[in-house]
Amino acid sequence: MKYIITENEANQRIDKFLKRMLKDAPVSFIYKMFRQKDVKVNGKKAAIDYITKEGDEINIYIKPQLLEEFHKEALLRPVKADFEIIYEDENILVINKPKGLLVHGDQGEKRITLQNMVLNYLKEKREWDPNSLDGFIPSPAHRLDRNTTGIVIFGKNLPTLQELLELFRTRDQIEKKYTLLVRGNITNDGQISYSLLKDPDKKMVKVVPESKGGKSALTLYKRIKNYAFGYSLVEAELMTGRTHQLRVHFAAIGHPIVGDSKYGDFKVNEVFENMYGLKNQFLHASYFKFKEIPGKLAYLSGKEFRAPLPEKEQKILDSIARIN
């Protein structure tokens, strides 16, 4: 089989390219192909760590029945694409994620997920083909909890997704800010720097010193507004990206997020559920900015995205603002 590397497939290890192409092939089979010289680039034996370049001619010597067996269509579960698009171009898709929707599937839900909605949307637009031999699947560059709303960014091609993942890993050329309602009146802007440790068995995160395995975590915040009966609207910026970071950090300083069923004040949560129907944390990814970024996505430098609060959360703020 012959394949010409396009711009979208360049700049990746050739073994990873083959793993995407031959999704169901055992890893041992992929390695065996290289040992037996069954993979060639531009007519020459390919090293397993070769980095693909645009225009490379890849020749793969594989029996047709094995190719058919190992390259199966990506599993796409039909679902309505029910999401708000904040921005879209040929490389990225910026979405305002609604509450109650997983970004990725888990054991309990594999069909109604944000990624599955995006795949159906891009297939309908003919921007993604689940049968493509390159094996690439458009994916989010980061995650939000099921019940956290707001901005999620998807990469629509491999080079874009690679750059986005690196930006989110280093974090120095992006800004992510959240809007949250917390218990108690916050009087000053500040920062929270408690290190955190995830307990996979309890599916909880706790504050633990770095000397005992905690990972450093830093949150900056500023007060937007104080409300009657002791509540504050806060804007928080993540300087690190730990699991449940905002939820644990604000609980740790005595200002748990309203509605948070894991780390919050259960009596406060009960009041807001009874009065406003709020059943989950009042936490919204409201702002994202690309700073000065190089490469394929340089045109996005300085670009800002804002996601308005969900209707329910905005109505809560309007209501408590009227209480004197």
Spell out the CATH class of 2-70. Answer: alpha beta
- In this predicted structure, what is the pLDDT of residue 250? 98
pLDDT band at 317 (very low <50, low <70, confident <90, very high): very high
CB 153 within 8 A of CB 288: yes
- In this predicted structure, what is the pLDDT of residue 74? 55
pTM attached to this predicted model? 0.80
Nearest CA-CA partner of 173 in 81, 289, 89: 289
Domains 2-70 and 173-324 share a fold: no
Of 17-21, 204-208, 226-230, 292-296, where does mean pLDDT reach its minimum?
17-21
Average pLDDT, the chain: 89
- In this predicted structure, what is the pLDDT of residue 159? 87
- What is the CATH topology of the domain spanning 75-170? Pseudouridine synthase (3.30.2350)
The whole-angstrom separation of Cα 47 and Cα 60 is 13
Stretch 201-227: mean pLDDT: 94
In angstroms, the Cα distances linking 50 to 2, 161, 187, 238 are 17, 20, 56, 36
More confident call, 76 vs 28: 28
Stretch 273-299: mean pLDDT: 95
More confident call, 172 vs 17: 172
Q: Is pLDDT of 254 > 90?
A: yes
Domain boundaries, the chain: 2-70, 75-170, 173-324
pLDDT band at 324 (very low <50, low <70, confident <90, very high): low
Q: Is pLDDT of 75 > 70?
A: no
- Superfamily of 173-324 according to CATH: Pseudouridine synthase (3.30.2350.10)
Residue 5 C-alpha from the chain's centroid: 27
Active-site amino acid positions: 145
More confident call, 109 vs 5: 5
Q: What percent of the chain has pLDDT over 90?
A: 61
Residue with tokens 């949307």, as numbered in its chain: 121
- In this predicted structure, what is the pLDDT of residue 71? 60
pLDDT band at 111 (very low <50, low <70, confident <90, very high): low
- In this predicted structure, what is the pLDDT of residue 72? 58
Q: Is pLDDT of 125 > 90?
A: yes
pLDDT band at 107 (very low <50, low <70, confident <90, very high): low
Residue pLDDT, tens place only, 231-247: 999 999 999 989 999 99
- In this predicted structure, what is the pLDDT of residue 130? 79
- In this predicted structure, what is the pLDDT of residue 2? 77
- In this predicted structure, what is the pLDDT of residue 60? 86
Residue pLDDT, tens place only, 127-157: 988 777 666 889 999 999 999 999 999 999 9
- In this predicted structure, what is the pLDDT of residue 252? 97
Q: For the chain, what is the HEC assignment?
A: CEEECCHHHCCCEHHHHHHHHCCCCCHHHHHHHHHCCCEEECCEECCCCCECCCCCEEEECCCHHHHHHHCCCCCCCCCCCCCEEEEECCCEEEEEECCCCECCCCCCCCCCEHHHHHHHHHHHCCCCCCCCCCCCCCEECCCCCCCCEEEEEEECCHHHHHHHHHHHHHCCCEEEEEEEEEECCCCCCEEECCCEEEECCCCEEEECCHHHCCECCCEEEEEEEEECCCEEEEEEEECCCCCCHHHHHHHHCCCCECCCCCCCCHHHHHHHHHHHCCCCCCEEEEEEEECCCCHHHHHHCCCEEECCCCHHHHHHHHHHHCCC
- In this predicted structure, what is the pLDDT of residue 68? 67
- In this predicted structure, what is the pLDDT of residue 23? 74
More confident call, 152 vs 41: 152
- In this predicted structure, what is the pLDDT of residue 33? 86
Most confident of 38-52, 201-215, 300-314: 300-314
Residue pLDDT, tens place only, 179-191: 999 999 998 999 9
At CA 218, angle to CA 216 and CA 221, rounded to 5? 165
CB 35 within 8 A of CB 50: no
CB 159 within 8 A of CB 11: yes
